[in-house]
């Protein structure tokens, strides 16, 4: 992909937000449809473009949801037996807001605790963005 420093999208830069939420109601973490909906809504509200979503419910419990984004990807991996979930949202460019997506997911899941970290990836074009 070529670098166009005048555009918000198409830059070799991005933010990767990793989160661990604990103390979530186990029923929410085992509800595939609910998780699809809250992920889709959180991504849309954070200006990410959802291209496709797939999910897998495991036996006896647990769900993985993957979202292919125009900007990159997002995933949820649940552990209802522990009331825990791993969240991963990576977006390229400066248009989408992955931190907001994770915050909206946390609001929907109401964890007792959350651990969130953001990793800057690629080149730092922040000085070129107004």
* pLDDT tens figures, 81-113: 999 999 999 999 989 999 999 999 999 999 999
Is residue 74 a part of any domain in this protein? yes
Say what the pLDDT of residue 4 is: 40
Active-site annotation holder among 16, 46, 84, 92: 92
Contact 29, 78 (CB under 8 A): yes
* CATH code: domain of residue 26: 3.60.90.10
The pLDDT confidence band at residue 7, using thresholds 50, 70 and 90, is very low
Q: Encode pLDDT of 28-82 as tens digits.
A: 999 999 999 999 999 999 999 999 999 999 999 999 999 999 999 999 999 999 9
What beta strand segments (E) does the chain contain?
A: 13-22, 50-57, 63-69, 72-79, 84-92, 113-122
Is residue 67 a part of any domain in this protein? yes
The total of structural domains in the chain comes to 1
Is residue 5 a part of any domain in this protein? no
Say what the pLDDT of residue 124 is: 77
Domain that holds residue 112: 13-127
- d(C-alpha 50, C-alpha 110), whole Å: 24
Active-site annotation holder among 46, 72, 84, 94: 72
Q: Assess whether 51 carries a catalytic annotation.
A: no
The pLDDT confidence band at residue 1, using thresholds 50, 70 and 90, is very low
Q: Assess whether 72 carries a catalytic annotation.
A: yes
Say what the pLDDT of residue 101 is: 98
Is residue 65 a part of any domain in this protein? yes
Say what the pLDDT of residue 11 is: 78
- d(C-alpha 24, C-alpha 43), whole Å: 20
- d(C-alpha 52, C-alpha 89), whole Å: 15
Beta partners for residue 79, in sequence order = 84
Q: Assess whether 44 carries a catalytic annotation.
A: no
Is residue 24 a part of any domain in this protein? yes
Exposed, middle or buried: residue 9 (CB in 10 Å: 0-12, 13-18, 19+)? Answer: middle
Is residue 4 a part of any domain in this protein? no
Say what the pLDDT of residue 127 is: 54
Say what the pLDDT of residue 130 is: 38
Is residue 3 a part of any domain in this protein? no
Active-site annotation holder among 77, 84, 94, 123: 77
Is residue 106 a part of any domain in this protein? yes
């Amino acid at each position: 992909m070529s670098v166009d420093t005048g555009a918000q999208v198409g830059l070799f830069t991005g933010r990767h937000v990793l989160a661990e939420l604990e103390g979530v109601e186990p029923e929410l973490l085992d509800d595939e449809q609910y998780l699809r909906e809250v992920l889709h809504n959180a991504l849309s509200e954070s200006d990410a473009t959802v291209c496709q979503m797939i999910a897998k419910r495991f036996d006896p419990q647990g769900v993985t949801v993957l979202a292919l984004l125009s900007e990159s990807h997002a995933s949820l991996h649940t552990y209802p037996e522990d009331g825990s979930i791993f969240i991963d949202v990576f977006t390229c460019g400066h248009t989408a807001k992955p931190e907001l997506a994770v915050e909206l997911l946390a609001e929907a899941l109401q964890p007792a605790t959350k651990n969130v970290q953001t990793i800057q990836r690629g080149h730092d074009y922040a000085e070129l963005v107004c």
